[in-house]
Amino acid sequence: MELIISFTILGALGGLLHVLIHTSSLREALQYDNSKWVIIGAISGLAYYFLHTDYGFPDSFMAIVVGYAGADFIVAAAERSKRVLRELLKP
């Protein structure tokens, strides 16, 4: 159980790292809109717990990386699906 919590927290840390890198000031980083990156990072870290293997990079580092990049992957997939649906549903 503590391993699940650890992966979730490390994923959230990756999401927080994403926010800190992509904002220009602390005030901008603390805006409510940026909390979605931390939440998506935590969810990505939890998903990594179920998908991880025991070889390669240390799992804790990879959970942070997944939390950082997972949010970008989800947003890109959502944007792409919007464009595809718009094209398919065009009159």
- Residue 52: phi, psi to the nearest 5? -75, 155
Angle between helices 2-22 and 35-51 (to 10 degrees): 140
pLDDT at 57: 66
CB 10 within 8 A of CB 42: no
Asked if the model's pLDDT at residue 56 lies above 80, the reply is: no
Confidence at 13, pLDDT banded by 50, 70, 90: very high
**What percentage of the chain exceeds 70 in pLDDT?**
93
pTM: 0.73
Q: 16: buried, middle or exposed (CB in 10 Å: 19+, 13-18, 0-12)?
A: buried
The residue-averaged pLDDT of 44-66 equals 80
By three-state DSSP, how is residue 1 classified? coil
